[in-house]
Amino acid sequence: MNNLLYIAWQPEEVIFRIGSVPVRWYGMCWLVGLVLGYFLMQWLYRRHKFPDEKFDPLFLYVFFGVLAGARLGHCLFYEPQDFLTSWDGFLSIFIPFHHLADGSWKYVGYQGLASHGGVAGLLIALYLYIRRSGMNTWVVLDFFGICSGITACFIRLGNLMNSEIIGKVTDVPWAFIFYNVDTHPRHPGQLYEAIAYLVFFVVIFLIYRKHPEKVGTGLYFGLCLTLIFTFRFVIEYTKEVQEAFEAGLPIDMGQILSLPLIALGVWAILRSRGRQYSQP
């Protein structure tokens, strides 16, 4: 295959440094996605006339819930042999440093965040938030269903900038050569997902603008889960397995973890039929 026909991909992982601390594209994409979700969520709360004091604590719950869940999800489901077999590995789950052979510590950031774990962490954080705030559960979940696609888009762009979660070797004309990995043209699965999640965000938002009365029924939460994780299940067929143990499975870990979320999404959509939420 002629590598000149394909897209050469070898971006710098670091955008700039603050002193000796690198600011990476991966972390910046996460930050941009969370900030966009924050402002959209704030707009939804105000549009539906919920007071600011109900919204104000939400970001901290979401930020720490998603980060903790995504980190634990990666460490427990994808690399337990690295993080659960030594004290240094266990510490690396929680702190963004790696213990070097000479005894020193190197800042590496949180390299390894799993989207399924992030969703689980989000749902736990929302449960705690709803208990404290007294917000209606389905209103909060629907708000997240409207917002989450844009955040998911930027997270996958972060994966693209990191040259991780790479696709299988292919000869399609839009293939990427991830030179930080090897010299084979591969499916840019991260880009596929980023584009799809942006499209899902637009579709769900347009449906919401036409039917704002369906907020609180579970429709938008269900649409978000069903669309994102059905696509995630299908797109896994274009990706390389992330860990060796997945090669012996009939479907990979990403697909296994997607199935219960698809089921939850379909159930939420079916539950929403014929319902309309009336704000007290």
Q: What is the pLDDT of residue 87?
A: 60
**Binding site listing:** 156
Q: What three-state secondary structure class fits 20?
A: coil
Residue 184: predicted pLDDT: 93
Instruction: Give pTM, 2 decimals.
Output: 0.81
Residues of the chain with pLDDT under 70: 1-4, 73-116, 242-248, 278-280
Name the DSSP letter for residue 245.
G
Q: What is residue 81's predicted lDDT score, i.e. its pLDDT?
A: 62
pLDDT at 24: 85
Report the half-sphere exposure of 131 (CA within 13 A, side-chain side). Answer: 7
Nearest to residue 147, comparing CAs of 64, 8, 43?
43
Segments of 126-209 assigned E as strands: 176-178, 185-186
How do beta strands 21-24 and 14-18 pair? antiparallel
CB 114 within 8 A of CB 252: no
